[in-house]
Structure 1
Amino acid sequence: MKTYRLLPLLPVLLAASASADSFELKDGSKIEGTILRTDGSDYIIEVQVTKSIKDERRIPKADVVKQVAEQKDQTEFAAIAALVPAPDLYSESEYEVASAKVQSFIKKHPNSPRKKDAQKIYDTLETELAAIKTGGVKFEGRMIPASERAPKAYGLDASIAASNLKKAGDKGEVVSALREWTKLEKDFLGSSAYRDNKDYALTLMKTHLANVTSVLSGYDARVKARQTGLQGMDQSDRVRSEQAIQEEQSAYAARVEREKADGIKWHTLDPFAKKELDEAKRSLETEIRRLTSLDTSTLQNTEAAYEEAYASITKAGAKKQEIDAAISKARGFNMPQKYIDELQKLAPATPAP
């Protein structure tokens, strides 16, 4: 079997192609690649050597008995096929970007055998986008239209917040998870999602406390080791290293200040920032004590209050007195103002006399 030599060029680090032209040679062998150029009686072909490395080969034209062109539409269809099903909580703008990609494929490949499949993907995305634009949401793999979401908006939004908490926590992103817990507690204290996730939040806090305590216990040794390392450097290297450390400390301090200004409770931690580590430890100990002693059965059932108010306001023949009383009662519960506003918008313009 004839061996076709690699050109003496450095490998090019690029992402792997999904497919390429196929070249069948006289000796029965096949090579997949893309013709870059011709050089006299030879083809210069780019081939995939490994997943991340490409190289070039020189092949005599006379040795190529058959060339099967890459099906670009098949390659590109694989990318748009991955757009459905769309992920949970996809935003309006994300749907629009996805739809535009599919539309571009259809225009670029009008005769593709995958055109019908692409059209189905486009129709699915556009249908879900229309639902999002009118107040719907995709959650737990299902599109929930506005008409279905409205009666349980408070509880549904609480479940979404709890889902964000669990996703971050399950990935080990404890600080992000605790920030999601803070949002859940602030806006949805009276929800079943809050009550159901209290123990999960406690577990996260205990895990974070153990980590912070461990980092604090090694603080002095860590600082000493860094100082020893600096002292072992020559003057110029030491100056540069000290400057880099100072820049890192300043950047960290600025980040913490931004987080505080944004009202973020659980700050980013640095193993050399003892003040923030101490503050985190105290906050965690306080929160763990509070949550451990919290009896969630004594909390107002804000979720039920919202649903009761919705039912009263939207029922057939609802009178103005009933509507006013339902909204007034809802105000007495711990729910964000936006849910009161939604209830008011749902009230009929002309109540029953």
Structure 2
Amino acid sequence: MKPKNSFLLAAICLNAAQTLFADTIILTDGKKLEGSIIREEGENYVLEVQVTDSIRDEMLVAKSQVKKIEIVTADEKAFEKIAGLVPTPERLSASGYESRIKRVEEFLQEYPKSAKVSRVKEMLEVLNDELSVVSDGGIKFGESMVSAEDYLANAYEYESKIAAKLIKDAVSRQDYLGALRRFSKYEIQFGQTEDRTQIVALIQQVLSAYGNAITDNINTLEQRLAERKSGLERMSSEDRAQTQRALDDEYAIITARFEEEKETRQGWITPEVFHKESLEEAKRQVDTEVTRLQNMPKDVPKTPLAEVYRKAWGKLDGGTDEEKKTVIEVARQAKLPQPYVDRLVERAGLEVR
């Protein structure tokens, strides 16, 4: 007997590499199916298969078509669920480590004789070692653990690179509004770093794409409103009234948020595709930022601010109060952002800032 769905069979063969925790059924013609054998029905196996990330289905496979079955054991399935916990991502919090450690320890308790125990113990050791650094105030930066001492002494450099990476991550997700909001904060703290030129070039590309999308929404707004009105008119009176109420409620929420964002001057407005004022304000902001970046000086400080901060931090390890005040004043004159001046003052143990 052939599988009940030949299209399904082809899909499973193509997506086999994407299916986790599955048994492997090798057919007599050499094809491989990934799934879980959930029962037998006469001369057939009933196989549960993952068609897509969210869709499962059952299929029949004739026993006569099966050459070999490679069963995945319970511990192997459980291991696959925790295998990705190491290596850890950058800047994982202590609670994030604790959650991962708990899952790894649960595996060791449940499968103490698994062939994966050695590997899982190595994972646990890595997690505990990294947690120790993070608990002391350090972070994971890139693939390396940075001690609290190193981080504090080089905070400006680390945090500028982290801020730049967050912008790039937002762009890679096509979260252009998020990238622009992060860039606004970046400019305040790290607008004179060596990396700024690269970040500005990226943001200029973002502004072009984002601005074009907003312009398109503005130009098509009347047409889209007309199409929506036409769609409402085709509804029954009851459905039309209900839908219109929902649209009115949504519009009121959008308008309130727009007014709040403008009043609080929080920065980049959230544009909504059916809200003309927010679209026009967002376009104005884009045009203003494009002009600002084109006309802004491109020179950077002779001494990088990361170095200014690092040297000041080191000098504040000792000395008199007057000497410490001089060190801090030099950093201030170098235009080190105030939050970092405040950290130097705190390290110096001075009350007046």
TM-score by length of 2: 0.78
Which amino acid in structure 1 is aligned with residue 82 of structure 2?
A: I
Instruction: Say whether 1:281 aligns with 2:260.
Output: no
Cα gap change, 1:3 to 1:278, in 2 (>3 Å): closer
- The Cα shift of 1:257 comes to 5.5
- Corresponding position of 2:79: 77
Matches for 1:48-67 after TM superposition, within 5 Å? 48-51=48-51, 52-55=55-58
Query: What SS does the aligned partner of 1:82 have?
Result: helix
Q: What secondary structure does 1:138 align onto?
A: strand
Residue of structure 1 aligned with 2:122, choices 120, 123, 126: 120
The corresponding residue for 2:47 is 47
1:302–1:333 Cα contact (<8 Å) kept: yes
Return 154-163 or 204-213, whichever deviates more. Answer: 204-213
1:244: Cα distance to partner? 2.2
For the residue of structure 2 that corresponds to 1:265, the secondary structure is coil
| Paired residues of 1:166 and 1:177 also in contact (CA < 8 A) | yes
Q: Distance in 2 between matches of 1:202 and 1:67?
A: 55
What is residue 90 of structure 2 aligned with on the other side?
88
Q: What is the count of residue pairs matched by the alignment?
A: 325
Cα drift, residue 175 of structure 1: 0.8
User: Quick one: structure 1 residues 85 and 50, their matched pair in 2 at CA, closer, same or farther if it must change by over 3 Å?
Assistant: closer
Mapped to 1, the partners of 2:88 and 2:324 lie a distance apart of 38
CA deviation string 1:22-59 (max 9, x = no partner)? 9xxxxxxx9974667x99xx899863144332449899
1:147 deviation in Å? 2.5
Uncovered stretches (5+) of structure 2, i.e. residues with no partner: 5-17, 26-32, 63-67
Q: Is 1:307 equivalent to 2:307 in the alignment?
A: no
Letter in 2 for 1:309: A
How many Å separate the matches in 1 of 2:264 and 2:23? Answer: 50
Q: Which moved more, 1:290-299 or 1:334-343?
A: 334-343
In 2 relative to 1, CA 18–259 (structure 1 residues): closer, same or farther, beyond 3 Å? farther
Shift of 1:120: 0.7
Letter in 2 for 1:145: S
- Change beyond 3 A, Cα 1:195–1:311: farther
Q: Which residue in the other structure is 2:173 paired with? A: 171
Q: 1:247 aligns with which of 249, 262, 281?
A: 249
Name the SS of the counterpart of 2:47 in structure 1: strand
Contact in 2 for aligned 1:312/1:322 (Cα 8 Å): no
Which residue matches 1:9?
Answer: none
Alignment of 1:1-353 (within 5 A): 18-19=21-22, 33=36, 47-51=47-51, 52-55=55-58, 70-256=72-258, 264-297=266-299, 301-314=304-317, 318-332=319-333, 334-335=335-336, 337-347=338-348
Distance in 2 (CA, whole Å) between partners of 1:71 and 1:35 is 14
Taking structure 1 as reference, are residues 188 and 32 closer, same or farther at Cα in structure 2, changes over 3 Å only? closer
* Matched position secondary structure for 1:101: helix
Per-residue deviation, 1:200: 1.6
Partners of 1:296 and 1:333 in 2: how far apart? 17
CA distance in 2, matches of 1:236, 1:3: 50
| Cα shift at 1:98 | 0.9
The C-alpha deviation readout for 1:177-201, integer Å capped at 9, x for no partner, is 1111112112222322334312221
Conservation of the 8 A alpha-carbon contact between 1:190 and 1:334? no
Q: Return closer, same or farther for 1:21/1:107 CA change in 2, 3 Å cut-off.
A: farther
Alpha-carbon distance in 1 for matches of 2:57, 2:232: 43
Contact 2:308 2:336 in 1 (8 A): no
Match of 2:13 in 1: none
CA–CA distance in structure 2, aligned partners of residues 67 and 208 of structure 1:
52
AA of the residue aligned to 1:181: F
Separation in structure 1 between the aligned mates of residue 204 and residue 59 of structure 2, nearest angstrom: 58
SS in 1 for 2:137: coil
Check the 8 A contact 1:213/1:281 in 2, yes or no: yes
Q: Does the 8 A contact of 1:189 with 1:334 survive in 2?
A: no
Structure 1 runs not aligned, ≥5 long: 6-14, 23-29, 60-65
Asked if structure 2 preserves the Cα contact closer than 8 Å seen for 1:21 and 1:34, the reply is no
Answer whether contact 2:211 2:286 (CA < 8 A) is retained.
yes
> Does the 8 A contact of 1:169 with 1:177 survive in 2?
yes
Note if contact 2:36-2:47 (Cα within 8 Å) is conserved in structure 1. yes
Are the aligned partners of 2:90 and 2:141 in contact in 1 as well (CA < 8 Å)?
yes
**Residue 221 and residue 58 in structure 1: after superposition, are their counterparts in 2 closer, same or farther (change >3 A)?**
closer
Given residue 308 of structure 1, which amino acid in structure 2 is its aligned partner? Answer: K
Instruction: Answer with 132-141 or 298-307: which moved more.
Output: 298-307
Conserved in 1, the CA contact under 8 Å of 2:35 and 2:47? yes
8 Å Cα contact 2:176-2:206 kept in structure 1: yes
- Larger Cα Rg: Structure 1 or Structure 2? 1
Output the aligned Cα RMSD: 3.7
| Contact 2:47–2:61 under 8 Å retained in 1 | no
Aligned partners of 2:201 and 2:38: how far apart in 1?
61
| Identity within the alignment, % | 26
Secondary structure at 2:22 match in 1: coil
Aligned partners of 2:36 and 2:49 also within 8 Å = no
SS in 2 for 1:297: coil
User: Displacement of 1:160 after TM fit?
Assistant: 0.4
Change (3 A) 1:174 1:17: closer
